[in-house]
Structure 1
Amino acid sequence: MTEQYPQALTIAGSDSDGSAGMQADLHTFFRRHIYGTAVMTAAVAGNSYGIHDSVTLPTSFIDQEFKDLADDYHVRASKTGMLADTELIRTVIKNYQKYDFGPLVVDPVITTKHGNMLLEQSAYQTLRDELIPLATVITPNFFEAQKLAEMDINTQDDMVTAAQKLKDLGAANIMIKGSHHKPGQKEVSDYVLLESGKSFWLTGDFFDTDRKNGTGDSLSACIAAELARGNDIETAVRIAKKFVDVAIENEIQVGHKFGPINHWAPGYPDPEQSNNS
């Protein structure tokens, strides 16, 4: 009886202002009625104005976190967030392969939403060559997809080609998040390529707001949550897209500058109303 409630795992850094990273993942798990567990990999000191300091946890401590969860919990799906360096990425890979934590959603935190690199080249290469092949789902943003696919994306056909290149890297299912940086933009179109070969576009409104911190974290966390609930990949991706769109549209006023999305936005169906609850 103790292991019947669905549980998911976030492998990520702690964000002190609660808007992104592990906190955004746990907000999402809670909102989707999933019990959230966590392997903390780093801690970030920051607020809505910016990040001011960070520290990476010792790999021996991270190993212990994984072991303790494996000894006691039944994690049905996992997700990764920001992994700072090569040693940390390989520690996560080692432990994920050692323990059964269900399907893995990789949010490849490589660049910002504006295209600025977040990882050094060696860490990027490790993520590309060693972590992505383990992914059940990978959710790169527009610039990360360009980097990983080693090509410019200018058209929808380009995005289709990029998704196939990411599949060739070993990821089973790909969701490329559409561009958010075009002047006068009204819509955002994400492209999904499934392991079966099925593909489709998910198009939603573009919301011109500075309340978008944690969007990518929450999207990948929602996919992991829905997989933990027993939903298939397509259903999980579609639910996650709607969840994030509603959270962005219904702003929450927290912080003075770049604020978080609203995980408690009204109007999104309670997961207990779904067929797979």
Structure 2
Amino acid sequence: MSVSEQVQLDNFPSIFSLEGKVALVTGGSRGLGLHAASGLLQSGCSKVYITSRKSSACDEAVAALNALPNKSPHATAIAIPADNSNLDELDRLVAEVSKTTSHLDILFANAGATWGEKYESYPADKFSKVMDLNVKSVFYTIQKFTPLLTARATRDDPARVIVTGSVAGITLGSLGANATFSYSASKAAVMHLVRNLAVELGPRHILCNAIAPGMFPSKLANGLIEIQGGLKHLEGKSPNRRLGRQEDLAGLVVFLASRAGSHLNGAVIPIDGGAHLTGRL
């Protein structure tokens, strides 16, 4: 191959474009899910479905997304409230999505929960609730949406599954009075689940990858940020001297969903400024 041929990259200016893609974001009404939904919509998705338990939160999120000035005029966010931890609700969610699309290109399985309590009194029901939502419901969400994900996926244009893990599943999570044993265990489990699904679903033209966020200011994390010394304290402990920003998360999700991420499968990508490398979240 000549030098002139080597510099010719296939349609590179659009490599991050999601033009015409259809996406679903679970846990999409706030926080990391909402950041990602905004990025997906602004990167060209024609439809972005938002789901979480609370109908009012979904409606509010969709109204804000549909008011974005940078999205395509015909692109739309659609609210479908559902409890992902309930298998009957997942069936209903699939049925509702199927009413307005014949396929799904991107599934961002982001819904999750945590619980903090000391070791001696850590409650069994909360441990089960966190594991059910963070692991079991992720598996069944992907399983139940597989027919829509394979509907128009090809080897050269595969569908994408992106799962929210955590650096708490890579290194130690929070311990002490507000220990997050179930959260840490669930995130380690779901990231390994992604590796298994990558091999299972890859031949069906579905790529499965996970992101592992560190601390991002959000409703889920703000209490833990305060417990661990506050924003400035945690920024000082990170190698890049800051915590995550909305654009960091949205950019990574868009990358994985785009042609730029089309040869990643079974990857777990930490997004924490390198904090997990120091052993300190």
TM-score normalized by structure 1?
0.43
> Higher helix proportion, which one?
2
Q: Which has the larger radius of gyration?
A: 2
TM-score normalized by structure 2?
0.43
